[in-house]
């Protein structure tokens, strides 16, 4: 089940709720009891990167390291100054 983030437009209270996709959105704020909760757009909790599991998994022998023939990835920001680049 996905975790949805909500924010109250009346008092600014933020919360997360574990809900089914088919569940109705929450509306009542637990902090101020107003019916003013709105869903927030959030980033995914995981990221797919690299060569991919399909390239490296379930292979045998010399074919197992297919991803090592690629060039090293470039820095995330392009400058080398951010923590992701180091």
* pLDDT recorded at residue 76: 63
* pLDDT recorded at residue 32: 96
- Backbone conformation region of residue 80, classed left if phi is above 0, alpha if psi is from -120 to 50, else beta: left
* pLDDT recorded at residue 75: 60
User: Mind listing the pLDDT tens digit for each residue in 1-59?
Assistant: 889 999 999 999 999 999 999 999 999 999 999 999 999 988 776 666 666 565 555 65
Specify the pTM: 0.52
Which tokens in the block code for residue 34? Answer: 């107003």
């Amino acid at each position: 089940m996905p975790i949805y983030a909500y924010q109250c437009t009346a008092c600014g209270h933020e919360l997360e709720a574990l809900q089914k996709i088919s569940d109705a959105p929450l509306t009542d704020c637990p902090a101020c009891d107003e019916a003013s909760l709105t869903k927030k757009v959030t980033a995914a909790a995981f990221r797919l990167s690299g060569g991919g599991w399909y390239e490296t998994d379930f292979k045998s022998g010399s074919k197992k390291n297919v991803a090592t023939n690629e060039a090293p990835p470039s820095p995330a920001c392009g400058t080398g100054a951010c923590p992701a680049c180091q």
